[in-house]
């Protein structure tokens, strides 16, 4: 396959995936330019692993097209050695030890960097003599990270790469990813539920919900696309009645609402008059709020639902 810089690294057109009657992906259209780190988020079961499996040739799409560098993935298995997909439940041969896994990866990935792999193996303190099947959950995650980083694949998918990793190992991972990406830029699509912790890795965020892309923005645009408003519940209700409320939290007489949109001069003045506090939304708050559509329809206004009903829904999750 010829890599052409003029084509996006990843291109989806109306991509669908059904498992029997379950319609998981319902027509995704998106392009991802090369050398970008993208966060792929959404609630459990929304289809993140399914999408990464399609993009790494491990699942066939039901409809639409999925391409890397302008080539269909399913019809072009050669594309797969340009792609590295690391996931928690990676299968390894029964008796495999660390050296076997690194050797197999070295044979498979054209850009494999063995010196880097050995350095990573030490940083994560991976045992050499233990069979992989006896590795702890965190050690399995660390091994997947070693393969994912040392493969230097032009497109790397990391599906919740650090389940079970201790905080020190997660810090090591962030540091290594940022420094290696700086030296060897590539396209990395990364899913995690520990969003704020990893937020400064991402240049772009894509959020899936109910089979669709509900947010696709740069990290700055994403966090500027909503804000929190907090204070006495009645004052919050009054100010937000004509705004798009994504999520509310109520505690006694106090309420905090996550609002879609920008803070206008008018809203800022009204908030000051009512002693309400406006604060930026974190990426994790935003992703969480976007997953609340069955509690509150983000396209509806709060005036269509009573504040009491909203609070009940929030508590009943
Ligand atoms: N082989 C399969 N057969 C049937 N259903 C499947 C299969 N693989 C995935 N699914 C279903 O597809 C949906 C999407 O699953 P997927 O693993 O892609 O979600 P996810 O977003 O990665 O979730 P999580 O955040 O929990 O890891 C789920 O409802 C899941 O049950």
Contact, 53 vs 68, CB < 8 A? no
Name the phi and psi angles at 35, rounded to 5: 60, 45
Q: How many CB atoms lie within 10 A of CB 177?
A: 21
Name residue, tokens 């002693």. Answer: 275
pLDDT value, residue 151: 96
Residue 175 has pLDDT above 80, yes or no: yes
ipTM confidence: 0.97
Name the band, by pLDDT with cuts 50, 70 and 90, for residue 3.
very low
pLDDT of residue 1: 43
How far apart (Å, rounded) are the C-alpha atoms in residues 311 and 317? 10
- Does 40 score more than 90 pLDDT? yes
Same fold for the domain at 10-221 and the one at 225-316? no
Distance CA(64)–CA(49), nearest Å, equals 18
Q: Are 170 and 133 in contact (CB under 8 A)?
A: no
How many Å lie between the centroid of ligand 1 and the Cα of residue 50?
6
Total-model pTM: 0.86
Q: Which run of H or of E encompasses 122?
A: helix 114-123
Kindly give the distance from the C-alpha atom of residue 45 to the centroid of ligand 1, in angstroms, as a whole number. Answer: 5
How many residues belong to the chain?
317
Q: Is the pLDDT of residue 307 over 70?
A: no
Give the list of residues 6+ apart from residue 308 with CB closer than 8 angstroms, or none: none
Residue 57 is classified by DSSP as T
What is the whole-number distance in angstroms between the Cα of residue 268 and the centre of ligand 1? 42
* Nearest residue to 307 (alpha-carbon basis) of 208, 221, 212, 239: 239
What is the atom index within ligand 1 of the atom nearest the CA of 59? 1
What pLDDT does residue 240 have?
94
Task: Name the CATH superfamily for 10-221.
Answer: P-loop containing nucleotide triphosphate hydrolases (3.40.50.300)
Question: Is residue 309 very low, low, confident or very high in pLDDT (cuts 50, 70, 90)?
Answer: very low
Q: What gap in Å lies between CA 41 and CA 190, rounded to an integer?
A: 8
Question: Quick count: other Cβ atoms within 10 Å of Cβ 21?
Answer: 5
CA 22–ligand 1 middle distance (angstroms): 10
Q: Calculate the average pLDDT of the chain.
A: 88
Rg of the chain (C-alpha set): 22
Say if residue 313's pLDDT is above 50: no
Residue nearest to atom 16 of ligand 1 (CA): 47
- The pLDDT value given to residue 256: 94
First to last CA, the chain: 48
306 near 233, Cβ under 8 Å?
no
Residue 60, pLDDT > 70, answer yes
User: Is the pLDDT at 312 greater than 50, yes or no?
Assistant: no
> Which pLDDT does position 87 carry in this prediction?
86
E-assigned strand segments in the chain:
10-19, 22-32, 37-41, 63-68, 71-72, 83-87, 155-159, 187-191, 204-209, 212-218, 226-232, 244-251, 254-260, 277-280
| Predicted confidence band of residue 290 (pLDDT cuts 50, 70, 90) | confident
pLDDT over 80 at 223, yes or no: yes
- If one counts every other C-beta atom within 10 angstroms of the C-beta of residue 158, the result is 24
Give me the pLDDT at residue 308, please. 34
Pocket of ligand 1 (CB under 6 A): 19, 22, 24, 42, 44-50
Confidence of residue 304 (pLDDT cuts 50, 70, 90): very low
223 alpha carbon, distance to own chain's centre: 15
| Protein residue closest via CA to atom 18 of ligand 1 | 47
Q: What is the number of the ligand 1 atom nearest to the C-alpha of 47?
A: 18
The domain segmentation of the chain, as residue ranges, is 10-221, 225-316
What does DSSP assign to residue 92?
-
- Ligand 1 center from residue 162 Cα (angstroms): 19
Name which residue sits closest to atom 30 of ligand 1, judged by CA: 45
Residue 20 has pLDDT above 70, yes or no: yes
Pairing state between β 155-159 and 187-191: parallel
Residue 44 Cα to ligand 1 midpoint, Å, equals 8
Question: Greater confidence, 298 or 157?
Answer: 157
Q: Which architecture does CATH list for 225-316?
A: 2-Layer Sandwich (3.30)
> What integer pLDDT is reported at residue 191 of this predicted model?
94
Least confident of 180-189, 194-203, 205-214: 194-203
**Which of the four pLDDT bands, split at 50, 70 and 90, describes residue 29?**
very high
Per-residue buried b or exposed e for 39-48, using 16+ beta carbons within 10 Å of the residue's own CB: bbbbbeebbb
7: left (phi over 0), alpha (psi -120 to 50) or beta: beta
Question: DSSP assignment, residue 161?
Answer: T
CB 74 within 8 A of CB 68: no
């Amino acid at each position: 396959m010829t890599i052409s810089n003029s084509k996006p690294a990843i291109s989806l057109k109306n991509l669908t995936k059904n498992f029997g009657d379950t319609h998981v992906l319902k027509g995704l259209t998106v392009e991802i330019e090369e050398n970008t780190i993208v966060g792929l988020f959404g609630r459990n079961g929304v289809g993140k692993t399914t999408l990464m499996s399609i993009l790494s040739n491990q699942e066939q799409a039901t409809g639409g097209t999925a391409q890397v560098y302008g080539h269909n993935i399913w019809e072009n298995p050669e594309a797969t050695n340009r792609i590295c997909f690391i996931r928690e439940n990676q299968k390894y041969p029964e008796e495999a030890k660390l050296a076997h896994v690194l050797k197999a990866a070295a044979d498979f990935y054209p850009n494999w960097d063995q010196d880097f792999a050995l350095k990573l193996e030490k940083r994560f303190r991976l045992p050499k003599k233990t069979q992989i099947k006896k590795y702890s959950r965190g050690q399995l995650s660390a091994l997947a990270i070693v393969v994912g980083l040392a493969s230097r694949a032009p497109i790397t998918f990391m599906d919740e790469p650090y389940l079970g990793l201790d905080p020190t190992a997660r810090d090591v991972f962030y540091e290594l990813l940022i420094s290696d990406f700086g030296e060897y830029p590539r396209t990395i699509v990364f899913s995690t539920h520990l969003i704020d912790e990893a937020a400064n890795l991402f240049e772009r965020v894509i959020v899936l919900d109910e089979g669709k892309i509900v947010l696709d923005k740069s990290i700055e645009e994403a966090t500027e696309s909503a804000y929190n408003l907090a204070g006495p519940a009645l004052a919050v209700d009054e100010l937000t009645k004509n705004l798009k409320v994504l999520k509310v939290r109520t505690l006694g007489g106090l309420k905090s609402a996550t609002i879609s949109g920008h803070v206008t001069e008018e809203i800022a003045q009204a908030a000051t008059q009512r002693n309400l506090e406006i604060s930026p939304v974190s990426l994790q708050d935003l992703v969480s709020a976007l997953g609340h559509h069955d509690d509150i329809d983000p396209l509806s206004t709060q005036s269509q639902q009573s504040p009491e009903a909203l609070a009940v829904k929030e508590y009943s999750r």
